[in-house]
Amino acid sequence: MNQQHEDERSRIRTAMDRLLAGQPTCSNGSLTVVALAAESGVHRMVLHKRHADLKDEFYARVRTETHQTPEVERRLRKEVVRLKGAPKDSRAAEAAARYRAEQVVLAAAVLILRTSTGQDHTAPENVVPLRLPHD
């Protein structure tokens, strides 16, 4: 490893200590990679690409030292719950749409039957009779 790489790792570890102690100097103090990057003075992609082990170490320390779930993990868990519920909601909406379509088809069949048998004069005023294709 070169000197720049070692310097970045040292700054990241120092920033970890400050954030976990609740003494941020260059960030908002949140326990996120964005705050860690700002606190250490490195770009966050550097943490994700070159120092992924330190990012993982940071989140492990957040869990053990603060007894908190990292914000990223909380957001992902919330999204998983939402996505797991999406198919159920979709199936319910599909069933409701299918039921409405069946009701429309049945109503149309009744109206067509009434029209073809001459019983359409008893229809309410707000019902428009359907014309058969051959009319």
CA distance 4 to 1: 8
- Cβ atoms of 73 and 59 within 8 Å: the answer is yes
Q: Does pLDDT of 59 surpass 80? A: yes
How high is the pLDDT of residue 133? 64
How high is the pLDDT of residue 134? 63
CA distance 131 to 111: 9
How high is the pLDDT of residue 66? 80
How high is the pLDDT of residue 11? 92
Residue 101 pLDDT level (bands cut at 50, 70, 90) = very high
More confident residue, 102 or 111: 102
Question: Mean per-residue pLDDT for 82-86?
Answer: 85
Question: Mean per-residue pLDDT for 36-53?
Answer: 90
Name the residue with tokens 């770009």. 43
- Cβ atoms of 13 and 54 within 8 Å: the answer is yes
How high is the pLDDT of residue 40? 92
How high is the pLDDT of residue 42? 92
Residue 34's φ and ψ, nearest 5 degrees, are -60, -45
Question: Mean per-residue pLDDT for 38-50?
Answer: 89
Strand ranges in the chain using DSSP code E only, listed in sequence order: none
Q: What is the CA radius of gyration of the chain?
A: 32
- The residue among 51, 124, 122 whose CA lies nearest residue 41 is 51
Round the average pLDDT of the chain to a whole number and report it: 84
Q: Give the SS3 label for residue 81.
A: helix
Q: Which pair of structure tokens corresponds to residue 43?
A: 């770009």
Residue 110 pLDDT level (bands cut at 50, 70, 90) = confident
Rounded to 5°, angle at Cα 9 from 12 and 16: 25
